[in-house]
């Protein structure tokens, strides 16, 4: 579990005008939602949040200290200015110690597959899975070793090793990673195979009858045509 700790203050006022004043002072307006649906308004230092949460995943639990009280929470949503990228607002979702939760955990692909070294391409269609566990058992990310994958082999969700206390929620048959030849190479192989089974241009199929009106073979005289009787 991450040791990120953020210092926040209670925020009594709300509204866009107040939020702008907070941002001008280098802070970010924050809302923390609880499991019961109750929400509390906070604000925290913009620089501290940006540096402290850099590189964390969606399943990272951070600590938010608010005037002597500590909350454990996920960073559920970060709203940014589309022009300069500055953070405008943050939503937290509080988690309770000892209470089972569901969360999406990022997958980190590691290793160089055998199939890639043989000329194949690695594809990674799935980037996260959903799990259920206690907050203390929640992984920030799960490493998936693909070193043993050969060409035309795949690794599924059911193949991912999970720590004790972590239950899989995602469908087990989803493909996490696979190795296959590039599309161009596969097409070339299929073309070559088809060419070996196709008759050469101009060759008649085996057992086919000669075409009507075909000229006789070279050196062979044409069949004689009976002469008509000449009238005297």
Neighbours of 29 (CB within 10 A): 24
pLDDT value of residue 145:
97
pLDDT band at residue 195 using 50, 70 and 90 as cut-offs: low
Q: What is the pLDDT of residues 17-74, one digit of tens each?
A: 889 999 999 999 999 998 777 899 999 999 999 999 988 888 899 999 999 899 999 9
Counting residues of the chain whose pLDDT is more than 90, the rounded percentage is 62
CB atoms < 10 A from the CB of 65, how many?
13
Q: DSSP characters for 186-201?
A: HHHHHHHHHHHTSPPT
| Exposed / middle / buried, residue 168 (Cβ in 10 Å: 0-12, 13-18, 19+) | middle
Q: Which two tokens stand for residue 77?
A: 């949503």
Residue tagged 């925020």 (tokens): 11
Question: What pLDDT is recorded for position 12?
Answer: 84
Q: Is 138 exposed, middle or buried (0-12, 13-18, 19+ CB in 10 A)?
A: buried
Can you read off the two tokens belonging to residue 10? Answer: 């209670």
- What pLDDT score was predicted for residue 3? 76
Q: Which pair of structure tokens corresponds to residue 60?
A: 């990272």
Give the confidence band of 231 by pLDDT, cuts at 50, 70, 90. very low
Quote the pLDDT of residue 229: 47
Q: What is the pLDDT of residue 224?
A: 47
Confidence of residue 230 (pLDDT cuts 50, 70, 90): very low
Q: Give the Cβ contact number of residue 228 at 10 Å.
A: 6
Q: In this model, does residue 232 exceed pLDDT 50?
A: no
pLDDT at 100: 93
Left if phi > 0, otherwise alpha if psi is -120 to 50, otherwise beta: which for 189?
alpha
State the chain's mean pLDDT as an integer. 83
Contacts 24+ apart (CB under 8 A), 152-158: 152/115, 152/179, 152/180, 153/115, 153/178, 153/179, 154/178, 154/179, 157/126, 157/129
């Amino acid at each position: 579990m991450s040791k990120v700790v953020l210092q926040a203050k209670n925020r009594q006022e709300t509204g866009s005008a107040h939020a702008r004043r907070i941002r001008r002072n280098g802070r970010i307006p924050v809302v923390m939602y609880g499991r019961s649906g109750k929400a509390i308004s906070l604000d925290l230092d913009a620089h501290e949040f940006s540096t402290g949460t850099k590189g964390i995943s969606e399943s990272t639990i951070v600590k938010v200290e608010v005037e002597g009280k500590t909350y454990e929470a996920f960073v559920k949503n970060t709203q940014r200015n589309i022009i300069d990228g500055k953070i405008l607002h943050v939503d937290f979702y509080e988690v309770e110690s000892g209470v089972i939760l569901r969360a999406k955990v990022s997958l980190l692909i590691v290793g160089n597959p055998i199939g890639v070294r043989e000329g194949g391409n690695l594809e990674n269609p799935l980037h996260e899975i959903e799990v259920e566990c206690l907050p203390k058992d929640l992984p920030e990310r799960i490493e998936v070793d693909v070193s043993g994958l050969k060409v035309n082999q795949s690794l599924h969700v059911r193949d991912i090793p999970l720590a004790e206390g972590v239950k899989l929620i995602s469908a087990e048959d989803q493909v996490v990673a696979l190795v296959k030849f590039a599309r161009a190479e596969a097409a070339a192989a299929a073309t070559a195979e088809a060419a070996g089974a196709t008759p050469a241009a101009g060759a008649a199929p085996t057992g086919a009858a000669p075409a009507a009106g075909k000229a006789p073979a070279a050196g062979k005289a044409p069949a004689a045509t009976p002469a008509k009787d000449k009238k005297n």
